Amino acid sequence: MIVIPAIDLRGGRAVRLLRGNPEDETSYSEDPVAVAVKFQEEGARRLHVIDLDAALGEGDNRDAIQAICHAVVLPVQVGGGIRTIEAIGGVLERGAARAILGTAAAADAEFVARAVEEFAEHIVVGLDIRGGKVMVKGWKEEGPSLEDAIPMLDEAGAPRYLVTSIARDGTLEGPDIRLYTQVLKLTTTPIIASGGVRHADDVWALRDLGCEAAVTGKALYEHTLKLSQVIRG
């Protein structure tokens, strides 16, 4: 079980949104590169970086992403606004180890198949879930149901899924165990869980369910969880 610290970028800062709401933002650092280096020093094995501006169609944080990738030796998975083959190539060229596909993947399994054919294990398919639906376009619009999306994406060859519970994201209310139980019944593809992690017991619960990894941000920033508690899990 790998715990992956999250760095969400907005306007060049490391921030967290509550349930994806751009109007409910907490800023944690003006220097996201320093945050990344600190997570590396604390024992992180991978980093999760999301360009919120790109996801929301409000610009991008490409320079900050490249700086983070070059400042650490850890593999970095990057998401936010990656909707074309060219965008995937661009983020990998900037130093990312994986590109997370969101809106484009949920709406177009053929795109996922093309991406996997070209970039293989460098692809992660993001599924942001609210009320059993995959949410797209910055979590503003409903896409397909979870039951429809996963078989379609499995057939397209998705190497792994990043499944986010929007209702739990940034809340420190614990992960949505029911959601991940459902997802793990629908696929044998590796699952990265995201949303709601507050302390070590949540990590172990996700591990025991069968999740490959857990992304957490706010728990680390608010010190309800320390990487030293879970890096050996």
CA–CA distance, 26 with 17 (Å, rounded to integer): 6
Of 51, 53, 128, 176, catalytic? 128
Structure tokens at 233: 């899990």
- Note if 128 is an active site residue: yes
Contacts of 211 (CB under 8 A, 6+ apart): 1, 180, 184, 191, 192, 193
Partner residues linked to 78 by β-bridges: 49, 99
CA–CA distance, 106 with 104 (Å, rounded to integer): 6
Eight-class DSSP state of 62: H
146-156 vs 177-186: helix crossing angle, rounded to 10: 40
Residues assigned a catalytic role: 8, 128
